[in-house]
Amino acid sequence: MLSNLKEWIDMTSQSWTIMVAILIVFGLVCAFFGYRLVRLLIALQGFLVGGIASLIILSQTTELAGWPLVLICVAIGLVLGALSYFLFRLGLFLLAGVAAFLVIGGVLGSFMTDFTVCCALAVGGGVVVGILALVFTRPVIIIATACGGGWLAAEHLLRDVIFASAAAPLWLLYVAAIVLIALGIYVQFAHTAKGK
């Protein structure tokens, strides 16, 4: 899903390799330790959403460019990251919802051609999972972080490392993601106490 980012921002091959390594490690950390790191993940997500959204909006609607634009976007990201951290319920809804959106969008996008329908289903699924996270916090956090992290790691490991010069077989991507997700769910449920 993020593979299009390379072309969009014209990254060099070395920069993309570093980005892929970070994405794989981040995905594995989320898949296996997401529940323990939920507050950090919520703050990070708030920072990224705030920073990236403000970068897109400000770069298209103002004359800002260069370091002033970057500094303003980082400041907005820091404020939204702090708000997400301290407004835990809102951050929890967003964390689970965004993870579900990314997984649903990634899965549906691999075989659906209608982008609008794919996005609508992914947004709807994200909202449903976000609401479920507020009701069933521990299991939904574990499942959402394992799914989001497992899919992210499997996708980039297969598409950008193992099959970098050819298309990764779709069935192999699904199998790898399911294995990582199942292991992540098992590890998180086995190593986190109920009620913590």
Domain locations along the chain: 13-191
- Nearest Cα neighbor of 85 from 50, 30, 53, 47 is 47
Angle 170-191/137-156 helices, nearest 10 degrees?
A: 140
pLDDT over 90 percentage in the chain: 36
- 15 vs 184: CA distance, rounded Å: 28
Separation of alpha carbons 13 and 193, rounded Å: 43
- Residue 169: per-residue pLDDT: 84
Q: Which residues of 55-70 are buried (b: 16+ CB within 10 A; e: fewer)?
A: beebeeeeeeeeeebe
**Length, in residues, of the chain:** 196
Q: Do residues 158 and 140 touch, judged by C-beta distance below 8 A? A: no
Burial of 169 (0-12, 13-18, 19+ CB in 10 A): exposed
Amino acid 24: pLDDT: 92
Q: Do residues 142 and 35 touch, judged by C-beta distance below 8 A?
A: yes
66 — pLDDT class (breaks 50, 70, 90): confident
Q: 7: pLDDT confidence band, cut at 50, 70 and 90?
A: low
Average pLDDT estimate for 101-113: 86
Mean pLDDT of all residues in 31-57? 88
Rounded-to-integer distance, Cα 140 and Cα 99, Å? 11
The C-alpha atoms of residue 128 and residue 116 are separated, in whole angstroms, by 18
With bands split at pLDDT 50, 70 and 90, how would you rate the model's confidence at 1? very low
Alpha helices in 87-169 (DSSP H): 88-109, 115-135, 137-156
3-state SS class at 62: coil
Q: What is the mean pLDDT of residues 114-141?
A: 91
Model pTM score: 0.73
DSSP state of 160: I
Q: How far apart are the C-alpha atoms of 63 and 6, rounded to whole Å? A: 25
pLDDT of res. 179: 97
Give me the pLDDT at residue 12, please: 63
Q: Model confidence at 153, in pLDDT bands (50, 70, 90)?
A: very high
Mean pLDDT of the chain: 85
Element (H, E) at 1: none
- 48 confidence band (pLDDT: 50, 70, 90): confident
Q: Mean pLDDT lowest for which of 26-30, 44-48, 103-107, 166-170?
A: 166-170
